Structure 1
Amino acid sequence: MNLVAAVVLDIEGTVGSSSHVRDVLFPFACERFARWFADHRGTPEAAAALEAIGRRTGIADPGEDEAVAALSAWTDADVKVPVLKSLQGEIWAVGYADGSLNGHVYDDVPGALERWRTARVPVHIYSSGSVAAQRDWFAHTAHGDLTGLLTRYFDLGNAGSKKEPGSYRTIARALGAVPQSLLFLSDTEEELTAAAVAGWRTVAVRRGDDPRGDTLPGHTTIGSLDHEVLGESWQTRGTS
């Protein structure tokens, strides 16, 4: 049996509550998009954001109101757009810094991270949220700063879409690891399937508060990270 060389974790629905993202983080950013553009008016950062929003929407030279409307609509639909994720991360950073926000993690997460560190298995994060937002999430939890238990972070910018097998191949190359030695934990079927197609081992995580149920057909499913996953021979769906 080949040992797991590294664990890669999804955030939302896997180590942290999806409702925290939808009900706390998303509204916090939406309420502040207009202020962000007002505060950054005339800067290269604002110009780059407007250009990216224009490319995505097809609107030539969008104004701030159009940009805010687009960002809000994408938030409501939970569309994974890099410019949206980047701006959310910037806005959330202010909230983390002033204590308005915290990063939610389930109670079993710190223990699992410690256990894997003791086993000398590095743990990485792969989320659609920006790398900066990921670091802030784990730095500001009710369990304290957990970033010392994590190694690398991957997002839409440095890896690509979580539903594309090529993104997992990109991560494997970045880690210098063979895909079969990497274990990905997520609550989302499309992500798990993409990782499996890329040759990764996969385990589904379905929390007790997940309205979709406690199993994900076609994938080994666990309900918490108290379940030991490193010593098992999980099956992938194949490689390509």
Structure 2
Amino acid sequence: MSSTPNQAAEAAKLMKNASAFLLDIEGTTTSISFVKDKLFPYVRENLATYLKENWAEASFQGVLKKLVEQAKADVEAKMEGAVALDDEEESPEKAQDAVKNNVLWMMDADRKAGALKLLQAQMYVKGYEAGSLKGHLYDDVEPQFKKWNEDGKKIYIYSSGNVEAQKLLFKNSEAGDVSALIADYFDTDMGAKVEKESYTKIAEKIGKPIGEVLFFTDIVKEADAATEAGMPVILLEREGNAPLTEADKTKYTVISSFKIEVEEEEVPAKKQKLDVDAKPAEEEKKAEEETMEVQLEEKKVEEKETETEISEEKKESNSTNGVHHKNGTEEKTNGSEDKSNGEEKESNGTEEKTNGESKEEEKSEESAAQKTVSPTKKVVTDEAAGDAPQVAAE
């Protein structure tokens, strides 16, 4: 009997997500046979002796009162076979016989009455103290409890058995005292295990969101109640437990041990060969992708560096343009001076041109004068032969 790979994986996931664990005892942490074949027979065999020896004890008188109240309620409810109890019996012997018959009737009917569980717990104390009883735990329970504690996840017990009886079982187990691994215990004082309100109360008592408390049980009706309350559930399929239907296994995650081993599904030989052949190609593809990622990163770095360089060049260019603008202003000023000098030169040129024109006019007049004088000289020359002194005297 073992969990399927899918069930084991789902159980592992539920355990991982839970922050606290709530566990049933019978059929979950402890075999049903221990309860039915050890604990219950111990009560049956030692009930008469226990009543006789503890009848006058104050602790038992408190239990007796509860048993009488329960018996009256059963008779009023007209439960078949109900045994009435009268706390005013004529003799202790008759009263003890009536109590014995009432207790055995409830045990035969598998009643979960609080008064019955309280009496059983008191009797278990005697059995554990005497060494007649040793609490049974499945082999996977104690190691798993330790692991959960190491993981910081708290463990709680919820059973129809009285809290005191629960503590005795874990304190006096075949694996030793494991009670230190358990944070707290709950019994039917929190409500019946088939009622959703019971699980809501327990979650509130624990102080955890109900969705974070994982409940383990072997009883489908209990699982249904917890689920209805919003508490996740794992069913235990232990040897000796009532068989689960296929519908139960479909509805709930089912395991046969707390030791969960999530294994990969077996791969057919042909598929394994294909996977081996494909491995180099996959590795090559992975290497190419890694190379592309490196190149992409390098490109990003280069682009960033380029952007930085462009930004610096822009800053430098702006700084240089500022200097050129200043020089341009100076050049413009010099240009204005050159223009002014040019105008002065042009003015001088004009003056020189005027002077030139005056000189040419003088030269022209001289030339004209010379032309006027020349005929006279010729006349003089011509006349010189005859009367030169006269001409000269003029």
For 2:252 and 2:176, the matched residues in 1 are separated by 32
For 1:221 and 1:76, the matched residues in 2 are separated by 30
Q: CA deviation at 1:46?
A: 5.1
Q: How does 1:174-189 map to 2 (within 5 A)?
A: 174-189=205-220
**Cross-structure match for 1:40:** 54
If asked which structure has higher relative contact order (CA below 8 Å, sep 6+), I would say 1
| Structure 2: runs of 5+ lacking an equivalent | 1-12, 76-83, 88-94, 263-394
> Is the Cα contact below 8 Å between 1:14 and 1:185 reproduced in 2?
yes
Identity %: 33
Q: How does 1:39-58 map to 2 (within 5 A)?
A: 39-42=53-56, 43=58, 44-45=61-62, 47-58=64-75
**Cross-structure match for 1:224:** 257
For 1:135 and 1:37, the matched residues in 2 are separated by 23
TM superposition score normalised by structure 2: 0.55
Query: Could you give the per-residue CA deviations for residues 131-185 of structure 1, whole angstroms, max 9, x where no partner exists?
Result: 110011001111110001110000012x111111111111011111111111000
More moved, 162-171 vs 62-71? 62-71
For 2:156 and 2:67, the matched residues in 1 are separated by 31
Give the 4+ runs in structure 1 shifted more than 6 A.
none
**Cross-structure match for 2:159:** 127
**Cross-structure match for 1:116:** 148
Matched, 1:29 2:62: no
> Is the Cα contact below 8 Å between 1:163 and 1:194 reproduced in 2?
yes
Q: CA deviation at 1:33?
A: 2.3
| Structure 1: runs of 5+ lacking an equivalent | 230-240
Q: How many residues align?
A: 228
Match of 1:167 among 195, 198, 205: 198
Distance 1:68 1:14, change over 3 A: same
**Cross-structure match for 1:145:** 177
> Is the Cα contact below 8 Å between 2:218 and 2:241 reproduced in 1?
no
For 1:196 and 1:211, the matched residues in 2 are separated by 20
**Cross-structure match for 1:20:** 34
SS at 2:188 equivalent: coil
For 2:186 and 2:221, the matched residues in 1 are separated by 17
Q: CA deviation at 1:227?
A: 1.9
**Cross-structure match for 2:133:** 101
The letter of the residue matching 2:101 is: A
> Is the Cα contact below 8 Å between 1:53 and 1:67 reproduced in 2?
no
What is the RMSD computed on CA atoms of the aligned residues?
A: 2.1
For 1:22 and 1:86, the matched residues in 2 are separated by 17
Distance 1:211 1:160, change over 3 A: closer
The letter of the residue matching 2:65 is: A
For 2:149 and 2:118, the matched residues in 1 are separated by 29
SS at 2:156 equivalent: strand
Q: CA deviation at 1:70?
A: 1.7
